[in-house]
Structure 1
Amino acid sequence: MSNLLVGLQLYTVRDQTAQDFKGTVRRVAEMGYDGVEFAGYGNLAADELADLLKETGLQAFGTHVSLAAMESDLEREIEYCLAIGCPNLVVPHVQPDLLSGERLHTLTELLNTFGRRVRERGLTFAFHNHASEFAQEDGKYALDIMLENTDPANLKLELDSYWAAYAGVDPIAYLGKHTGRVALVHLKDMTPERTFTEVGDGTLDIAGIIKAAQAAGARWFLVENDAPTIPSLESARRSLENLRKF
């Protein structure tokens, strides 16, 4: 794992960042993570967050920004990313009712437009999947329709390994079919009961996912646990320690 850039999606420790954003980020750095992915900025101004990243030595791998926030003021979101040195602006979620019929076509056009604007500013625009994007539409996954109908330069994929597997899709095989479109990967693991667990403690082939993601061109790997059953910071630490064993 020495050549792997591993960050933490801070959604994992949201209970802690809600109490002490800066202190939690510092603790993540102390664990040995290379970077973080944001799910909100703790109400910090961009220069303040940039200073925190510089202090901790953490890289900003990416940030999750809602589609509604982008529709409201995409330029503001781009400027914030540029100010903190964050290379990847990611749509984290869309409502399932947008993933079929004419709404899917409209969403795809919007993502392509946003992606062009983001790319023109020197950043990468990506889409993060849940299980709903693997619903079938005209015999294809909705996610594949999105990828096929957007410029590869305008829209990359942040594959979430857990949600792909949850939808019955082999994340390794899926990564293999999308070489060149994968910018980031969420490393998440699954219990036999199909719930969340620490990376390396579950049933998914994490080493295989990493290998396939690297072959597909992914540069950034994010640990995430949507609902830790142990203290969230301990969950983040355990996942990183398990990854080091690989």
Structure 2
Amino acid sequence: MNSRREFLLRSGALAVGTALMPSFTFAGGKKLKGTSNIGVQLYTFRKAMGEDAVGTLKKIAALGIKEIESAGSNKGYYYGLKPKEMQQVCKDLGMTLRSGHIALNDKWEQTLDDAAEAGQEYLICSSMPSKGQSVDNYKKVAASFNKAGEESKKRGIKFGYHNHDYEFESDNGHVLYDVLMDNTQADLVHMELDLGWVVASGNDPMVYFAKYPGRFPLWHLKDMDMAKHESTEFGKGGLDIVDILKHQKESGLKYYFVEQEEYTNDPWDSMKENIAYLKRI
């Protein structure tokens, strides 16, 4: 694990390898997947979505993006649009409103109603609903996640959780993210693995794919500048994107969403660069 971790953290090595290898295959001759149905987490375009949701979605569609994951905003989870309206705008632009980041709070029933109206497949809790970096708290959260998963399943929606780096801290020798994984039901809680934060925490996503096969149907595909501890354009950080994309089967991957929270210039230039990178590999 240590040697792989060191490899993952070596910025720049991937870009050289990519230039030398224009295409990749899985065992058995299958081509590397990952460029046909590119998704985006709308937090990447948070300012533009807040100012003009429909116009911004049009610009996103023009980039060739097909899958959309929404995020919270000061205008709500649908940026001032009605849930059904948000779904229809995406559909008219050739995109699918696949998932949405939400909070598990006292507005949960309304969140479920809205997601059902929007036709979303996934609802993803974006951060821990109760604070406390302890085994006891993570077990309590796991129980609440199982309950939310049951309630979502009745509506035909899949519930899940999105990690950061702090979930990989330990309490009394137990990795807290592992506590969460061990105490949630696989058929009720569908994990969205933020690959950038996993690597930034000093861990290896492939270790988690092996330990919990099929538990990660969603990814946030995010490269990380390890020195600054912030996201960056693909190929400029510490995530081995080519290797990650070869492990989709072990992960159980269904969809991935590109997310970039910080940019070299602006989110549009960064996303164009990321899409060009994915097409290159």
- Please tell me whether residue 52 in structure 1 is matched to residue 89 in structure 2: yes
Partner of 2:266: 231
- Please tell me whether residue 32 in structure 1 is matched to residue 64 in structure 2: yes
- 1 CA distance for matches of 2:166 and 2:108? 25
Contact 1:135–1:142 (CA<8 Å) still a contact in 2? yes
Partner of 2:201: 167
Q: Which moved more, 1:152-161 or 1:2-11?
A: 2-11
* Greater radius of gyration (CA): 2
User: Per-residue deviation at 1:2?
Assistant: 6.1
Q: TM-score, normalised by structure 1?
A: 0.92
Partner of 2:42: 10
Aligned residues: 243
Looking at secondary structure, tell me which structure has more helix per residue: 1
Equivalent residue for 2:146, pick from 112, 115, 118: 112
Percent identity for Structure 1 against Structure 2: 29
Gaps of 5+ in 1: none
Amino acid at match of 1:29: A
**After TM superposition, where is structure 1 displaced by more than 4 Å over at least 4 residues in a row?**
none
- 2 CA distance for matches of 1:203 and 1:188? 10
Equivalent residue for 1:94, pick from 128, 153, 163: 128
Equivalent residue for 2:165, pick from 108, 113, 131: 131
- 1 CA distance for matches of 2:83 and 2:45? 21
User: Per-residue deviation at 1:103?
Assistant: 2.2
Q: Which moved more, 1:197-206 or 1:111-120?
A: 197-206
- 2 CA distance for matches of 1:211 and 1:82? 33
Gaps of 5+ in 2: 1-32, 72-76
Partner of 1:210: 245
Amino acid at match of 1:159: L
Q: TM-score, normalised by structure 2?
A: 0.81
Partner of 2:23: none
- Give the match's secondary structure for 2:65: coil
- 2 CA distance for matches of 1:5 and 1:145? 32
- Please tell me whether residue 19 in structure 1 is matched to residue 51 in structure 2: yes
